[in-house]
Amino acid sequence: MYKIATKKMLNSTVCQMEIEAPLVANKAKPGQFIILRVDSEGERIPLTIAGCDKVRGTVKIIFQIVGATTEKLNHKKQGEFIQDFVGPLGKATETEGIKKVCIVGGGVGCAIAMPVAEEFHRLGAEVTSIIGFRNKDLVILEDEFKACSDKLVVMSDDGSYARQGNVTVPLKEMLEAGEKFDMVITIGPLIMMKFVVLTAKEFGVPVTVSMNPIMIDGTGMCGGCRLTLNQDGKKVTKFACVDGPDFNGYEVDFDEAMSRGRMYFGFERHAHEETCNLFKKAEGGNN
């Protein structure tokens, strides 16, 4: 069992927790993830490590409440326990040789992008961060990005906060103005990452994308997290859990990844509604 050391809501649908897991905290690196179960009958879900404190032995996770399991997890209180917390899994983000990097994060994907930006900052690289959200109410981690970025641009789709537009707008402006990045690293919705890749491709800038497909065991055995890459004119199958989650953005078949990501949308929405109803009934019964 793993204790929830801290819990706070970053906005109405995004929650941050610190979990006491000293063995994971001691080995975790930016870009890696964990798999957890809320209880003994719960499903396994992957969540990227959003930070760790090796002294306190805690691992930070940030998740959006979108399905049955994240709804259950959100109902856990500080001081309570979750069943399983396994990791670190996956490969850490490559940092060697990168002196000037642009980090592009979207929505809750900023929770993954932030520790990557922090690591580059710690290593002395010049960090430009571009983060985007649908509206003002969904903005998260702005102060954390300010602290580790030489330049930060915040975007909102509807213009209710900072600058209106999507993250590709300032990225293209910077590249057109002659900015030379060793690498663009983008983390967020698949459609966003696809267009970040297309934007950077015009200028020949390498792009790393962080993929978060359907995942079950985290060891490459189930095949649920498979991705199709186009390498040297050939289609190659890779697994996000063991070969990633970072991949060369120019090689990823985003259309296939988006199609696979929508496969269980209806099922998960139904499961989420059922879980919400169960909690409402339980809370009503305690009144």
Domain extents for the chain?
2-89, 100-210
Low-confidence ranges of the chain (pLDDT < 70): 262-287
Q: Which residue from 172, 156, 175 is spatially nearest to 164, judged by alpha carbons?
A: 156
State which fold the 100-210 domain adopts. Rossmann fold (3.40.50)
**pLDDT at position 67:** 84
**pLDDT at position 241:** 87
Tell me the sheet residues that pair with 18: 6, 60
**pLDDT at position 270:** 47
**pLDDT at position 219:** 75
Per cent of the chain over pLDDT 70 is 91
Answer CATH for 2-89 from 3.60.20.10, 3.40.50.10330, 2.60.120.10, 2.40.30.10: 2.40.30.10
* pLDDT tens readout for residues 10-69: 999 999 999 999 999 999 999 999 999 999 988 899 999 999 999 999 999 999 998 889
2-89 matches 100-210 in fold: no
**pLDDT at position 66:** 87
**pLDDT at position 223:** 80
Task: Please say whether the beta carbons of 48 and 90 come within 8 A.
Answer: no
Q: Which residue from 184, 243, 234, 236 is spatially nearest to 213, judged by alpha carbons?
A: 243
* Cα 227 from Cα 254, distance rounded (Å): 9
**pLDDT at position 279:** 59
* Cα 227 from Cα 18, distance rounded (Å): 30
3-state secondary structure 115-154: HHHHHHHHCCCEEEEEEEECCHHHCCCHHHHHHHCCEEEE
Q: Which residue from 203, 208, 218, 199 is spatially nearest to 252, judged by alpha carbons?
A: 208
Q: Would the CA dihedral through 55, 241, 36, 284 be positive or negative?
A: positive
Burial classification of residue 216, based on how many CB atoms lie within 10 Å of its CB (0-12 exposed, 13-18 middle, 19 or more buried): middle
Q: Would the CA dihedral through 48, 229, 264, 193 be positive or negative?
A: positive
